Structure 1
Amino acid sequence: MDLDLRKLRYFVAVAEHLNFGRAAEALHIAQPVLSRQIRALEAELGAQLFDRSSSGTVLTDAGARLLDDARPLLAQASALLRRVGTESFTVGFMPGLIVTPAVRVLAARHPSVRIDVLRTTWEDQVEVIHDGRVDVGYLRLPVSLDGLRCVPLFAEPRVAVVPASHRLAGKESVLESDLAGERLVQHGVTPGVRSVEEKLEHVALQGGVAVLPLSTAVFYSREDLTHVPISDIAPNEVVLAWAAHRHTPLIAEFAEIVSGPAPRG
């Protein structure tokens, strides 16, 4: 059986909206057409992907498993088309890291190559390399480097970001023990925190402490918050990484460009 990527794209739209009408609007197709395509996909796979009832549409277990695989597969297909068409090169980067100097060097050397950048997060900084959305990525460790090759770039101190009125504000440095008893605002732990911006909003509105790499704290500096170096915590290491199975001249050249002084904010 050949998997129809168009049907797979339709499936992802319904899975994300959990509403056939809204998914059809987003895809710019008629709802009956979308429904027929989803039924055809279910028939091809031999599995029901959605439970439909008067109370709404929900993914079945089979649908949830397909969604986990469908998103990276569609991203890989898109990346493949991008690479086969106009020659291009995409660089992923985490918040606080400035990649412009290295990208400018590569662009000057290869004016015919379309060079893009993609801001990543803790959740997808590795995923975008594996699924082909980026050719190389500036990663903040620790993350799994399985299937990747990497070049160490630099390490930077971690700081405690606190409200400007906080008891630790203005200190030259603090110890990790000084944070004991504080409300730590953490990605993946504090409800509603998925990005640096949300983390800082939580600290500003509700107090507490967020631990960030120095360049991230500086990049997102604001008047109602301040940051204090933490002297006894391991620094944040940054590496340039790419998929181990990919061997292209542009990747090798970009790795050589950034192996000198690290571009950062």
Structure 2
Amino acid sequence: MELDLRKVRYFVAVAEHRNFSRAAEALHIAQPVLSRQIRALEHELKARLFDRDNRGTRLTPAGEALLEDARPLLQAADAARRRVRDVAAGRRTFTIGFAPGLIITPAVRELSRRHPDLSVEMSRTDWLDQSDAIREGRVDVGYLRLPADRHGLAVEPLLSEPRVVMLPADHRLAGKEAVTVADLAAEHLLQDPDDVPEWRDVALEPQEPGQAAPPLRTVEEKLEHIAAGNGVVVLPKSVAAFYTRPDITHVPVHDIAPSRVCLAWDASRRSPLIREYVEIVLEAARS
């Protein structure tokens, strides 16, 4: 059975809006048309995807299962369309996603040397979109800092590096050669505690019901909170070195797991350029 991508796109819109009227408005189609398309998809799959009652529209277990696969499927289709349009327009590009603190220049230069007609582009990513950038086709290959969502991705481990704690320059621990996670037990962590389970296990900070950390998306936002004395952040050493500023310092933390970096790409793609770039990076890492 072949899935109709248009119906799948309609399904995802309803799943995200939890409302047929709002989904139809977002899709710029009439609600009866949307309802017919969803019924046709359910008929093709022989499964009910939504429960609708006076409380609203909810995904069934079958709908939840489809949604998990539908988003990567649509992302891959959109990426394929972009690649085809680029080739048809005479553009031959290869885009690499990278995170701050990582030096990728030697591999980029080697790929460019081997393919002078290829436009090699670089796109900075962050922790929140590093995996999506690959699945959505915005980059052909990306450097991921783990942990990361690796669903649908092929990965090659590259390196690991120690992690440090970022502190205000006048902090009681500033200037020390190293600290332990126990030294940080009384600090407020400005990131997801699951990123630093060693801190989570010893933290003295009360975990009150409903208490939520501020929505800090970027490292720059975290640094402003650190400088203001609102908390600390544990980062890979190279990231800390990249974001040098006079009112913040960093100190190694001896007893937490190192940060791991891998190279990742869409597992469904069979691009010779991706394979070649991966080999270039791995050869450089071995030497």
CA 1:49–1:160: 2 relative to 1, 3 Å: same
Report the aligned-residue RMSD.
4.0
Q: Within 5 A, what are the aligned runs for 1:156-171?
A: 156-171=161-176
| 1:14 to partner: Cα distance | 1.7
Q: Within 5 A, what are the aligned runs for 1:37-48?
A: 37-48=37-48
Question: Which residue does the alignment assign to 1:111?
Answer: 117
The secondary structure found in structure 2 opposite 1:169 is: coil
Measured in 2, the distance between the counterparts of 1:240 and 1:183 equals 32
Paired residue type of 2:272: P
Q: Deviations over 1:159-195 (max 9, x none)?
A: 1023455322343432333223434444364945684
Paired residue type of 1:209: V
Report if aligned partners of 1:95, 1:196 keep a CA contact under 8 Å in 2: no
Question: Which residue does the alignment assign to 1:36?
Answer: 36
Report if aligned partners of 1:90, 1:115 keep a CA contact under 8 Å in 2: yes
Report if aligned partners of 1:89, 1:134 keep a CA contact under 8 Å in 2: yes
| 1:39 to partner: Cα distance | 2.3
Q: Within 5 A, what are the aligned runs for 1:1-265?
A: 1-85=1-85, 86=87, 87-97=92-102, 99=104, 102-103=107-108, 106-107=111-112, 109-113=115-119, 115=121, 117=123, 119=125, 121=127, 125=131, 134-141=139-146, 148=154, 150=156, 152=158, 154-187=159-192, 189=194, 191=212, 195-197=217-219, 207-220=230-243, 225-242=248-265, 248-259=271-282
Listed as ranges, the gaps of 5+ residues in structure 2 are 196-211
The secondary structure found in structure 2 opposite 1:166 is: coil
| 1:8 to partner: Cα distance | 0.3
* TM-score, normalised by the number of residues in structure 2: 0.68
Report if aligned partners of 1:75, 1:133 keep a CA contact under 8 Å in 2: no
| 1:242 to partner: Cα distance | 4.2
| 1:37 to partner: Cα distance | 1.6
State the identity as a percent.
57
Q: Deviations over 1:194-244 (max 9, x none)?
A: 844476577567834321112323445567654222245443232334467
| 1:91 to partner: Cα distance | 2.4
Measured in 2, the distance between the counterparts of 1:250 and 1:130 equals 17
Paired residue type of 1:117: S
Listed as ranges, the gaps of 5+ residues in structure 1 are none
Paired residue type of 2:236: P
Number of matched pairs: 260
Q: Deviations over 1:109-137 (max 9, x none)?
A: 34345746362536863x76678664322
| 1:257 to partner: Cα distance | 4.3
Report if aligned partners of 1:139, 1:238 keep a CA contact under 8 Å in 2: yes
CA 1:249–1:230: 2 relative to 1, 3 Å: same
